[in-house]
Structure 1
Amino acid sequence: MPTPRFAHVDDTTALRASLGLLLPDLDFVSAHPSVEDLLAHRPDADVVILDLHLATAGQPEATQGPTAIRLLVDAGYRVCVYTQEQRRFVLAACLAAGATGVVSKTDSLAATEAAFRAVAAGELVVPPAVAGLLEVLVRRGSLTLVSPRQRQVLAARARGLTYAEMSRTMFLAESTLRGYWIELSQTVEKYLKETSPGDIEHALGLGPGDLLAT
């Protein structure tokens, strides 16, 4: 399997300069202050690591949030949001816009590298709070075609359990549990592509526009 290539979009100069140095085993091919700059240069990357909030005094018109995600996905990139944002509905909106992963900037470097690699491999990477929202969609019958084992794994991820912890309680190998999660990722990705944000809001009991508010 070819080594995945990463591009990085962040308005903070120091982070753009340092992320590749902090994660030397990953192949970062470029770094950009805005989505517009990345799309102008069109780097040969598989995954874009994207900060959510990019509009600053220096670039007040910079595209950000779900709109930025959609632009990158439409350009053929897989997107992993890398952010300090904590609001679960905002993070859920990132998935609805087409992001494959959402990673916190407070995570350890080891966890961050593992998450970036998982996104490059097509695995859905979400924090427990967002996994909890997906669990609600399953319970309410909006997100269907989920097997009982996948539901168990989703419920465990929503509670922040690791694969090792799940393995001990479910008596299954970690590789088997990861396989269930990857299968679930494919189901979720298909659901998000085919379902409007309005329908997701309705299934979650939200008001119109709540999911996409940033």
Structure 2
Amino acid sequence: MIRVLVVDDHEVVRHGLRFVLEQEEGIEVVGECSSGERALAVIPALRPDVVLLDMVMPGMDGLGVLRRLRDTRGGDHDGGRPPARPAVIVLTSFLEDERVVEAVRLGALSYLPKTTAVDRVVEAVREAAHGGSVLEPGVAALLISRVRHGDRERPLDLLTPREREVLTALARGRSNAEISRALGMGRETVKTHVSSILAKLGLADRTQAAIFALQQGLVPLDEALDG
């Protein structure tokens, strides 16, 4: 069961998302919050797998929540174990260049306009629960443009830790089937990760991805593309 927390300052949006998600098998909405501050307060107790997060809210906005989640180092929960950090999907009415890139840098797996089709939101929730991303064409275009023209100094920051693992495997010449076995994920999930990597980095294919990983030092030269 995928546990979801909905965070949005508009009650109609929260209730609409709850209604849609609760029709889906294997998804449970464990709570709703109208502010970033409240979300951070309840996440340790509710332990959602996925947070649907509004970007613009009074008080602490979505970027503030993402920063706090990123900076969480643990605490006195369950005998001292740190609270699990949920996957975050940003839902917003705004597609501003800076916000998109910063949200991805801070760990958002998907960044979706609020006009996104319902089935796409559901897909994003299911992918996020397994570390995958869903990017709408407009968002992908912004990321590609930023990486190409202004973000080359830290392009790996756009990738999730799981995507870095997949990229490293690509650089070693691994097939999707081999990556699936090595990382313990389904082949469709691997394909989703590869598509997300290519979109975020503005690359055309797996070969370009492998070359990029080599340039970034993810894989030593003698290991690259050794099949």
TM bucket by the smaller chain?
A: 0.5 to 0.7
Aligned-pair CA distance for 1:135: 3.6
Structure 2 equivalent of residue 179 of structure 1: 190
1:31-57 deviations in whole A, cap 9, x for unaligned?
0011211222232211111000111xx
CA distance in 1, matches of 2:141, 2:194: 17
Cα distance 1:107–1:64, how it changes in 2: closer, same or farther (>3 A)? Answer: same
Structure 2 equivalent of residue 89 of structure 1: 98
Aligned-pair CA distance for 1:114: 0.8
List alignment gaps of at least 5 residues for structure 1: 56-61, 151-174, 190-214
Query: Which letter does structure 2 place at the counterpart of 1:11?
Result: D
1:113-142 deviations in whole A, cap 9, x for unaligned?
111211121112222233235445379865
Aligned-pair CA distance for 1:86: 1.9
Q: Using structure 1 for the length normalisation, give the TM-score.
A: 0.60
- Given that 2:100 and 2:143 are in contact with CA atoms closer than 8 Å, whether structure 1 keeps it comes out as no
Aligned-pair CA distance for 1:83: 1.1
Secondary structure at 1:103 match in 2: strand
Q: Tell me the number of residue pairs that the alignment of Structure 1 and Structure 2 aligns.
A: 156
Structure 2 residue 11 is the aligned partner of structure 1 residue 34: no
Of 65, 70, 89, the match for 1:68: 65
Structure 2 residue 3 is the aligned partner of structure 1 residue 11: no
Secondary structure at 1:106 match in 2: coil
Equivalence map 1:98-177=2 (5 Å): 98-136=107-145, 137=147, 143=155
CA RMSD in angstroms comes to 3.3
Aligned-pair CA distance for 1:111: 1.4
Cα distance 1:141–1:9, how it changes in 2: closer, same or farther (>3 A)? Answer: closer
Structure 2 equivalent of residue 53 of structure 1: 56
Aligned-pair CA distance for 1:188: 9.5
CA distance in 1, matches of 2:60, 2:56: 9
- Given that 1:7 and 1:31 are in contact with CA atoms closer than 8 Å, whether structure 2 keeps it comes out as yes
CA distance in 2, matches of 1:94, 1:111: 19
Q: Could you tell which deviates more after superposition, 70-79 or 31-40? A: 70-79
Aligned-pair CA distance for 1:91: 1.3
- Given that 1:72 and 1:78 are in contact with CA atoms closer than 8 Å, whether structure 2 keeps it comes out as no
CA distance in 2, matches of 1:19, 1:72: 22
List alignment gaps of at least 5 residues for structure 2: 73-84, 157-163, 172-185, 201-227
CA distance in 2, matches of 1:178, 1:77: 18
Q: Could you tell which deviates more after superposition, 103-112 or 46-55? A: 103-112
